[in-house]
Structure 1
Amino acid sequence: MFLQIVSSGIAIGCIYALIALGFVLIYKASEVVNFAQGDLMMIGAFLVYSAVTHFHVPFIPAFLIAVIIMAVLGKGIDRLLLRPLVGEQAFALIMATIGLGILIRSIGGMIWGYDTFSFQAGITDRPVRMGSVALSSVHIWIIAVTLLLIVGLYYFFNRTKTGVSMEAASQNQLAAYLMGIGVKKVFSNIWAISAMVATVAGVLLTPLQFLNYNMGFVGLKAFPAAVLGGFGSIPGAIVGGIIIGVSESIAGVYLPEGFKEIFAWIILIGVLMIRPEGIFGIQERKRV
């Protein structure tokens, strides 16, 4: 039973990790904390659901169409909302993303309604036995897709010219600009990739939870995962998401009722008290 709890926690942790990855990508590039990441996940999941259910598009083409739409949406958010705020205080940028999340959630409710929908995202839930342990095929699919996406992103950021330019811009914007890298274009591409990753997370989440306009609140649980791993670390986002997911699953079984919903925030408070920079974060000291 413990192994089944852990496998369930790893699966939900992979989703937290993908959402946290969106947080980290945008923060690394522009030092903006995007609190609308969960709501972008909701929109992406609903786009796939609508294409499959209402327009009878096969799942794979529907998913690809949704990913493209979300990439365009991500670029649009950067160009129309974030770019005019360049140079403003961090508080203004944070409030802008919070307002954006509320706006996206409200539009999602107006378009798709406030009911809850069931959507299996093309995955048939069947038990898969590994020795004496019976695992859900949904959990296996989520873990496998997450691993493939992580490998793909690693290759993109380390082996392609566009990915290397994004990594350079995230390290030092001025130096990247002086080397001929279009920093504004890099920011738009980062927002596009973040929105695409959010779509993948939303599609993977729907077999575990029902599809609802409020499902974006799951993204808030990915925030502690990003902090735990180190807010500027991509590997930290993955590790932090899995730790939060497994801890949450164990807390839901072995701790009193209600602890599961708050356990991520308990971990967040503990990390901020003990190691604010996170597991993979670099501690910085300023001499005054």
Structure 2
Amino acid sequence: MTDWLFLTEVFLAGLGSGALYAVTGVAFVLIYKATRVVNLAIGEILMLGGYAFFGAAAGWHLPAWVALPVAILAGALVGAVVERGLIRPMIGESPISVFMVTIGLGSILAGFVQIVWGADPLRLPEFLPSAPIFIGEAYVAPKVAYGFLAAMVVVTAFVLGLRFSRGGVALKATAADQAAAYSVGIDVPRVFSLSWIVACGVAAGAGVLVGAIGGISPTMGVFGLSVLVVVIVGGLDSMAGALVGGLFIGVVEAFAGTFLGGEYRFLVTFSILILILMIRPYGLFGTHEIERL
């Protein structure tokens, strides 16, 4: 007989991890939407956020409510430095050149955390409530539940901000036509900078949530590979696609890991990626446009 309670718990766990994929995917989309840069270092920036939180909380003995903003600010600072020092000088270069810069950046960040904190996995100080959570009879791990709620708040703020704020309107105008945005007085370079700053800050915050659930290590950057699948499935320039794709991939990975084994999780994920690229290369919600690197 089908154990529906067990299946429900696996599904809820998948939604929890999918929400973290979604919020990181939104950060990925924000950079791509504004600058047309495919930032493959997003997983390493997420990793850096987890380590920054660990350094502030365990190293400096700051309370969690202070260490979290420190981690987010660290990610935002990295975003500002990378945009101004690496990405802006590459304007006008081929997309593959900028793409390779982000790959190199990821390697640098992974090496940096190994030099500072070592290569061994670490656990973050406990800061999330640990009381059991049940939805009906289904048990949800508290860290997963709170991570889901935090991720949904961030994604909702992104969607509303893009729709109603002046910065969101400026970003959408810049994404649609940079020359037209210049002509109506939008400071396009500032939009570029803000997109990197906000996106990297959000990715760093997501790294704290991911680290709280599974610990931190220099290999956390592999999280970015699943995020890449998420945004390709949902659409590289679609916030809604990042949300739907994140939740979908999270659930698929949860069931694949449960019934096939953890080693097959990425096999299933990347099989879906190949299928989407063959059938709908611009994603479920992305602009009907194919850009060759």
Query: What band does the TM-score fall into relative to the shorter chain?
Result: over 0.9
Tell me the residue number matched to 2:107: 102
Q: Does 1:46 align with 2:73?
A: no
Write the distance in 2 (CA, Å) between the matches of 1:257 and 1:151: 31
Segments ≥4 residues shifted beyond 4 Å: none
**Matched letter for residue 188 of structure 1:** S
Equivalent residues of 1:121, 1:206 under 8 A apart: no
2:255 counterpart of 1:253: no
Aligned to 2:121: 116
Distance change (3 Å), C-alpha of 1:113 and 1:257: closer
Q: Which runs of 5+ in 2 are unaligned?
A: 1-5
Q: How many residues align?
A: 286
Q: Which residue does 1:201 correspond to in 2?
A: 206
* 1:1-288 equivalences in 2 (<5 Å): 1-120=6-125, 122-255=127-260, 258-284=263-289
**Closer, same or farther in 2 for the Cα pair 1:17/1:180, shift >3 Å?**
same
Deviation per residue, 1:53-87 (Å, 9 max, x gap): 11111111111122123212211100000011100
Change in Cα spacing, 1:88 to 1:147, as seen in structure 2 (3 Å) is same
Kindly report the root-mean-square deviation, in angstroms, between the aligned alpha carbons of the 2 structures: 1.6
What stretches of structure 1 of length at least 5 have no aligned partner? Answer: none
Q: 1:50 & 1:134 partners in 2: Cα distance?
A: 32
How far apart are residue 285 of structure 1 and its match? 8.3
**Corresponding residue SS for 1:87:** coil
Sort the Cα spacing of 1:21 and 1:178 in 2 relative to 1 into closer, same or farther, 3 A: same
Distance of aligned partners of 1:56 and 1:256 in 2 relative to their CA distance in 1, 3 Å threshold: closer
1:261 CA drift (Å): 2.8
CA drift of 1:255 comes to 2.7
Q: Deviation of residue 160 (structure 1)?
A: 1.9
Q: Partners in 2 of 1:88 and 1:257 — Cα distance? A: 40
Native 8 Å contact 1:11 1:245 kept in 2: yes
Determine if contact 2:18/2:246 at 8 Å carries over to the other structure. yes
The Cα offsets for residues 94-138 of structure 1, whole Å up to 9 and x where unpaired, read as 000000110111111101111111115511333212222111111
- List per-residue Cα deviations over 1:160-180 (Å, max 9, x = no partner): 222221221112111111111
Using the aligned pairs only, state the percent identity. 33
- Please state how far the C-alpha of 1:263 moved relative to its aligned partner: 1.6
The one-letter code matched in structure 2 to 1:202 is: G
Deviations 1:3-50 (CA, angstroms, capped at 9, x unpaired): 110111111111111221122111111111000001011111111111
Normalising by structure 1, we get a TM-score of: 0.95
User: Structure 1, residues 142-172: CA drift from partner, whole Å, max 9, x if none?
Assistant: 1111111112112322222222212211121
- Preserved CA contact (<8 Å) 2:159 2:239: no
Is the Cα–Cα contact under 8 Å of residues 282 and 290 in structure 2 kept in the other structure?
Answer: no
Q: Distance in 1 between matches of 2:251 and 2:218?
A: 25
